[in-house]
Copies of this chain bind each other. A is one copy, B any other.
């Protein structure tokens, strides 16, 4: 993309309404614009990151066999009366009447709707196991929306639901989700720690939250520092293998890690003192197993191998996709702006032309642009007639991990400059080598 043809309204002033860095930088970098309290438009740069995260979530869900679908945003109130949550769900649920006076609501979550669908079609153990998910806009009418997309009212979420014949099979689905989530977050450049959580209004005995450590996190967390040494990496886990998935669950949850809601001081004190940590964390996902509660209420009953009618064992599993954009920025930025991890960056690298209009510099930038594009990479070329300082400032704010700087002086020596946004380190090298280096960096990232 050439910046002269893009819509990237980078703000010079610091937005006063933003209390945390991700909110401030998303506004300054021209990623979002607030349209009402807690409701945002995603401008092209922000939308690109959001789509990238959505893509990673889709890929990792489908890698473990979960099936994508899409439920509508608007639900009927009747559906929620069947589960009993129409009354119990608080004022966060946006309720209204349609033109015929029917009670409707903007879905804050989809347990009722998905269970009704599965109840309608799934009649036999032969149709199981089944995990369906969707990535859809949700609405929660927060009393005090704040922190930008981190606690908005309209937000984008992946929610998935497993349907299994037995508790054992459903707990395997629970473990499989943990495996898949660990990989998902790592691809986004995040360390998200599974922590034992409180089950809240959804109910159930088993639940873990995934928390990213960040000073601005809404939760206080307590953990054994040994847990931060764990990485999922490139493991090939057979997701049909109960034992293999259980082993990953055990490895990542056997050390102490809890939010303040479930924190147990006595247990925490059993952690060696030099490994006890307390910090702030941002919740970016949660998994639940809640048994047969919804399937009994909504009639999700199947015939088992013995010909008996049994209710399905269920769980639900969420990843906050729009919130993750903020969480990644909270975890990865400096005082100049955002620093995107390679896995989620909106453009693979920036090209800065130090002297727009200089024949050699223009030609070299065009050539770099074409070479990178031919390799399937997407550069953002700042081809505006602006001072170098303004161009660098824009690139630093929007946080592309790599920048190639092209100027007449370097070109006389046959070199351009390749700069890492994270370290700030620069290296002079011939243009084709810069392209090769960037290609190498992104090998295996997409």
Contact = CB atoms under 8 A, between A and B. Distances in A.
What is the total number of copies of this protein in its complex? Answer: 2
A9 interface: yes
A141 B102 CA distance: 12
Contacts of A30: 121
B74 A154 contact: yes
A139 interface: yes
Interface residues on A, range: 35 or more
Q: Which of A76, A97, A99 has the most CB of B within 10 A?
A: A99
A442 interface: no
A413 interface: no
A363 interface: no
A277 interface: no
Given A33-B120, A65-B5, A98-B94, A106 B42 contact: no
Nearest to A116: B35
A64 to B, nearest CB: 11
A154 B70 contact: no
Given A7-B132, A68-B47, A121-B9, A74 B36 contact: yes
Contacts of A94: 96, 98-99
Nearest to A11: B121
A67 B79 contact: no
Nearest to A93: B99
A70 B42 contact: yes
A51 B58 CA distance: 12
B72 A41 contact: yes
A73 B73 contact: yes
B72 A113 contact: no
Contacts of A132: 7, 44
Interface string A30-73: 10010110011111101110110000000000000101111111
A36 B75 contact: yes
Contacts of A104: 36
Nearest to A4: B126
B44 A106 contact: no
A139 B99 contact: no
A126 to B, nearest CB: 9
A6 B69 CA distance: 11
A67 B44 contact: yes
Interface in A135-171: 137, 139, 141, 143, 153-154
Contacts of A76: 35-36, 39
A441 interface: no
A10 to B, nearest CB: 10
A145 to B, nearest CB: 10
13 contacts: A7-B69, A9-B122, A33-B120, A35-B116, A36-B75, A36-B102, A39-B74, A41-B69, A42-B71, A47-B69, A72-B154, A91-B99, A96-B97
Interface of A: 5-7, 9, 30, 33, 35-36, 39-44, 46-48, 50-51, 65, 67-76, 79, 91, 94-99, 102, 104, 106, 113, 116-117, 120-122, 127, 130, 132, 134, 137, 139, 141, 143, 153-154
Given A7-B130, A35-B71, A36-B104, 5 more contacts: A7-B69, A9-B120, A30-B121, A35-B79, A36-B74
A-B pairs with lowest CB-CB distance, top 6: A96-B96, A9-B121, A42-B70, A36-B76, A41-B71, A44-B67
